[in-house]
Each structure stands twice: as structure tokens, then as C-alpha cells.
Amino acid sequence: MTMNRREFALAATAGLWGAGLLAQTTLPKSISLVVPNAAGGSNDVMARAVAMRLPQVLGSAVVVDNRAGAGGNVGSAYVAKSAPRDGSTWLVTINSTQTINPSLYKSTGFDPLGDFEPVAGIAVVQHVILVPKTLPVQNLAELIDLARKEPGKLSYGSAGNGTFSHLLMEMLKMSQGVQITHVPYKGVAPALTDLVAGNLQVLISTIPACLQFIKSGQVKALAVPSLQRAPALPQVPLANEVVPGLVGELWVAMYAPKGVPREMIEQMRQAVAKVQAMADMESFFQAQGASAMKAGSAELLATTREEMARWAPIIKASGMRVD
């Protein structure tokens, strides 16, 4: 079969157009994962674990960009409003930023549903209630008793206003009628530093962020606010055995800024799934007291909506509000 000049030109043009389309929908060689929290927290730990393995799947260089502030709003707003839509920038965030902040803050600077495309779940992480090794309590009941005896004298840290470490402690305070002063930080890592130093008396942290401090004896783990004990801390009792309903788990997920081509989102979703399935990633999750969150775009969107609906009335009833 032979082609005349016109047919050849049309075929060549189609080939160039197809190549251009492919180039537009193939992920760039340099990718940034924006983490809207400080380095050292669970979100950061999980993002870096994924970033370290994504190049094996994508062939792209991947870096983590920490943009902390306002409970995750600063980094999230950056991705929503300022990040390029070419597949070079992705948001790796936690559920409190996406599902709690919209009800807690007067303005977050982003719309969790309107400004992002859900990509994939990454991990589910349990929390643990911590105190410094010098505090004279051995369990959650004793901590509550101490708070009742010394109203207003204890302080607790959080990873920021509206984070689970804030919301869960406020739930504990309200249910038990105790006064413990809130000290918000830009991420859990600096709060952990102050807890170890004895500048704070209580902190609810994700297990991956604090496991090393527990194992070294620098802090004491009192209770896990989950429905089942943490595999990484099997000896630590459940918080709801003392405070019914004190349950809350953190999940880490990836979102794209609205406008990123669907083909790129699907490519990244598949890449995250391959990373989760890696043998060393499975062992990493276990060591960190976490598990893979195997949710694609549709499942992540549904989960985001469900949690927004769950937390909104709780926050309204608590009277918590951040301007």
C-alpha cells in the first residue's frame, strides 16, 4: 500500500498530534508532593515513604514540599489556587484538613470538593494519648483525675487548630468536664519536642510520629482512641473503655488541583496502588502502626463527603471556631 503526499501529510500530522497529546497526559519528570504540615508528622512520614518509591514506578524525580500553617490550610490553599495544573504538583494531606477545617475555620482559602480532584488513599493511621515520662499518671483515668484536681494547670499540645489532636482532646474535655489549656503547634513534631521536654502535659499524636519516643521511654502511652488496639502498641488500652465515644482515626490521601488531566490522575492513582503493594511498603506500614488505605478516586470522594457531614454537627455543637 502506498500513500500520496496528501495522505502522508495527514498521517504525519495525526502522528504529531497524538505524540503531543501523549506528552500532555504523561506525568512530568519532576513531581512535587505538597504536605501542608510540618516535617516529622505522620502526614509527612507517609508522604516521604511514597515519594521515595514513586520514582521506581513513574521514572520521575519526586520531592516533598512542606508548607505548614493554619492546620493545613496554607499548603492546601497553595495547591488549590496557585499550583500548576500540569501534573507536577499534588497534595498529600490528612482528613482533618479536608473534612474538619471547612466547618472549623471562617475561611480555609480552598474548597475541599470544588478545588481538588481526589486521586487515591494512602494510609490509615491510629492515634495515641501521650504524657511526658515525668507526669505522675499511668493511665487515662489517672490523667483525668489529675486534671480534675488541678483545673487549668495542665496544657495539651496539638498539631494545629482543627486537627484530630485538637478535636479529640476537646471531646475528652467536654465529656469529662475538665479544664486543660490548648497550645496549637504547626504540626505534631514541634509539639512532641515540647512534650518530651516537659513543656506540655498531654498530646494526642499519630502513632507513626511518636513511636520512637514511646519505645525509647521518653513519653508514656496511655490510651488509643480507636475501636481496636494498635498492632504497633498492643499493650496500650483503648480510650473508649474510659471515655465512651473517644474514637478518631487519621487517614492520608492524595489530591490533585482541579484541572489536572484525568489521564494524569489515573496514572498517579495506579502508581500509588503499586507503591502500596510493594513488600517493603507493607512492612513499613506495619512498623508504623498504619495500614494501606486502598481507595481510588470515587471512593476517596465519597469518604471525603461522608466525613465532612459527620464532623460538621460535632464542631457546631462544641462551639469551636477559628477565625
pLDDT digits (tens, 9 = 90+) for 129-174: 999 999 999 999 999 999 999 999 999 999 887 778 888 998 899 8
β-pair partners for 33: 64, 90
CATH architecture of 9-124+251-318: 3-Layer(aba) Sandwich (3.40)
pLDDT of 301 strictly over 60 = yes
Dump pLDDT digits (tens) for 88-134.
999 999 999 999 999 999 999 999 999 999 999 999 989 999 999 99
Helix (H) or strand (E) holding 124: strand 116-125
Of the segments 17-21, 120-124, 204-208, 287-291, which one has the largest average pLDDT value? 120-124
44/152 Cα distance (integer angstroms): 32
183/322 Cα distance (integer angstroms): 14
Average pLDDT over residues 28-44: 93
Q: Provide the pLDDT for residue 1.
A: 46
- CATH superfamily, with its number, for domain 127-241: Periplasmic binding protein-like II (3.40.190.10)
Span(s) in the chain for CATH 3.40.190.10: 127-241
pLDDT band, residue 22 (cuts 50/70/90): very low
59/26 Cα distance (integer angstroms): 11
> Residue 279 in contact with residue 264, Cβ under 8 Å?
no
C-alpha angle with apex 303: 124 to 184, nearest 5 degrees? 60
Mean pLDDT of the chain: 90
Half-sphere exposure of 102 (CA within 13 A, CB side): 19
Looking only at Cα atoms, what is the longest distance across the chain? 93
Both ends of the chain: CA-CA distance in Å?
72
Beta strands per DSSP E along the chain: 30-35, 61-66, 89-94, 116-125, 127-132, 155-158, 181-184, 202-206, 219-223, 250-257, 290-292
Average pLDDT over residues 41-65: 95
Span(s) in the chain for CATH 3.40.190.150: 9-124+251-318
| pTM of model > 0.85 | no
Q: What is the CA radius of gyration of the chain?
A: 22
The residue assigned the cell 497529546 is: 21
